[in-house]
Amino acid sequence: MNGRRVYVSGVGAVSPYGLGALPLREALFTGRSAIGPIRGFDASRFATRIGGEVPPLPLEEHFDERELGWISKLAAHGVIAARLALEDAGWSDPDGIERAGVIFGTGFGSLAESGPHFVRWAEIGDAAARTMTIPVLMLNAPAAQMAMQLGLKGPALTVATACSSGSDAVGQAFREIRSGAREVMLAGGGEHALTELMLLSWSRLRVLSRRNDDPEGASRPFDADRDGLVLSDAVVLLLLESEDHLARRGGRALAEVAGYASNCDASHLTAPDEASERGAMLAALADARLAPSDIDLVCAHGTSTRRNDATEGRALRAVFANGAPFPHVAGLKSMTGHPMGASGAIGIAAAAYALEAGVVPPTINLARLDPECPIPAPSPRAVASDLRAAMVNAFAFGGHNAVIALRRAGRS
């Protein structure tokens, strides 16, 4: 191994399934869709009127009243998810956490929440610029709020690589621990982007599904009849610990983070590149000292768009074209929709759960595999399997590719 071993020891989530890791885990392995009609605002004028919304969450139950004006919904959900990750890990040392750091990945930060600020400006003029506008909307605010609320005095960093942000955040935190710089890190990603402005802007790109009459069946990774992605909101944080630290405090490991790689195709803002995706996967395997034949599960990026799924399918076929059995492939966004900055963190959590339980998560809504996606058809139901290692893909606008490799805890 190249440095210290790193383990996932806890997961915290604020997702369309509710608060905490357990609702997320149960939904992902029972094949429950998070998608429904948008209720947070009037979406009737939009061509797409569905999404994965986080249920209303009374923030006054989680924060002091004086704090509410200084915290965005994304940052608030980040703090809650971070607390839940520590709780899930059985963390009981209030003083020891101060040496930890946090790395948060997000595509848009609280930018999506800026719409009402501009509307208010148009209505009342310069008086709309309030004291807390900048502290609330600045991109680093969620990471800063997590650090302040939990007392984390290590690095508090923000990673913005679009839909690979969560994976890059976990990868960078993994490197912090593997190198010996830190013992404990919180890392993951989040998005609060189901707003009128964001829905309109994504619609203009013509990448959203319009299956408004069938919300739960709208997100269809690798299906021949897929018609686009479905936006959703979520924040997922993982607690990462060195092997020694985990042993000293008597914690439990869900899975080992074994390798990470990221690259950029440097060619197009929105079109995926097969060679770069393949390169990122092979580099992550090399970093983990794993061969393609060691991988039993791939949590695919699988956005349910025509070009992205076909490109990823070809890249996967190229990586696993060595004659070894093709790994199981899971398209998690069939259930969660696309939570952008949170998607990689959800994939890593799902892969860790899969390795721990020996169960492959299902891919719902796959009626007929697209011949342009040359992978084995993912299973519509959870499948028991002896899983040794897994790979999680996150491929994003801007040509950003991030891949995380994980091992089952206890494997050498």
- Per-residue pLDDT of the chain in tens (412 residues, 90 and over written 9): 468 999 999 999 999 999 999 999 999 999 999 999 999 999 999 999 999 999 999 999 999 999 998 999 999 999 999 999 999 999 987 778 889 999 999 999 987 777 777 777 788 888 777 778 888 889 999 999 999 999 999 999 999 999 999 999 999 999 999 999 999 999 999 999 899 989 999 999 999 999 999 999 999 999 999 999 999 999 999 999 999 999 999 999 999 999 999 999 999 999 999 999 999 999 999 999 999 999 999 999 999 999 999 999 999 999 998 777 899 999 999 999 999 999 999 999 999 999 999 999 999 999 999 999 999 999 999 999 999 999 999 999 999 999 999 999 987 6
Domain tally, the chain: 2
CB 138 within 8 A of CB 125: no
Residue 323 lies in a domain: yes
Residue 388 lies in a domain: yes
Q: Are residues 338 and 238 in the same domain?
A: no
Contacts of 388 (CB under 8 A, 6+ apart): 294, 296, 355, 407, 408, 411
Q: How far apart are CA 277 and CA 264, in angstroms?
A: 9
Contacts of 59 (CB under 8 A, 6+ apart): 68, 71, 73, 76
Q: How far apart are CA 234 and CA 78, in angstroms?
A: 9
Residue 129 lies in a domain: yes
Contacts of 383 (CB under 8 A, 6+ apart): 328, 359, 360, 362
CB 49 within 8 A of CB 37: yes
Q: How far apart are CA 403 and CA 164, in angstroms?
A: 9
CB 332 within 8 A of CB 28: yes
Residue 1 lies in a domain: no
Residues with a catalytic annotation lie at: 163, 301, 338
- Which residue, 214, 249, 284, sits at the end of a domain? 249
Distances (CA, A) of 122 to 119, 127, 133: 5, 10, 15
- Which residue, 192, 221, 249, sits at the end of a domain? 249
pTM: 0.96
Residue 372 DSSP symbol: T
Residue 93 DSSP symbol: -
Backbone angles phi, psi at 256, to 5 degrees: -100, 130
Domain span at residue 43 reads: 6-249
Residue 155 lies in a domain: yes
Q: Are residues 139 and 217 in the same domain?
A: yes
The domain that contains 275 carries what CATH number? Answer: 3.40.47.10
